[in-house]
Structure 1
């Protein structure tokens, strides 16, 4: 199982029309085939990689076996190592919503990682809400 992390910057327009140089941090494990796992509210990718959770999801023979699948776990906008108001912009940080967060994830997957098709999008808490938006789009 191999892993990688990154934080590419892209020019991004959020729902309020403002432009932002957005940095979306992500972690990957496994070989590239395209599974997207979305963390819950107040978490980051690191929360999905704890032994109790990762061992049950990503281990050999588990539902998202990282020896068979490529797992992408982005830190949502405002979480973990992705761009957030506390990085320095504070109250001047553009207003963003779930649609903006999912659009950033989509651009990470398609433009940043060059993946054309995901086999699965799954998440817990707010990540579960994001999966609904992925399905809708």
Structure 2
């Protein structure tokens, strides 16, 4: 069974620490496996209540992973567009929230995504080397993710 298939059909945001797919997506993202992180997080996103803050959070993280993949592919315009979309999703997710949602510091992730988008759009050198890119991507703070 693939890790993405371990995501529950209905994602309970309160049970995020028991969600293997959710947690594993952070490990993939942290090691630069952006496409794979997206694929693992998608069923988590699909299992969340439509229009919920948690669904916006996961959508934003998926867009950040896609952004990093586009940078690696040498497509900075697409990456900038995705980073802005991610920042919008994360800003929307943080409204009415405590500091953390599903283990993520949503405000920090939103701020990081916005700065990342601005750097890309300003034409700042954003490396495409995998190790450097992982160091430069927005930080995702997940309490006890692994």
TM, length-normalised to structure 1:
0.28
More helix by share: 2
After TM superposition, the score normalised by the length of structure 2 is: 0.27
Structure scoring higher RCO (CA < 8 A, sep ≥ 6) equals: 1
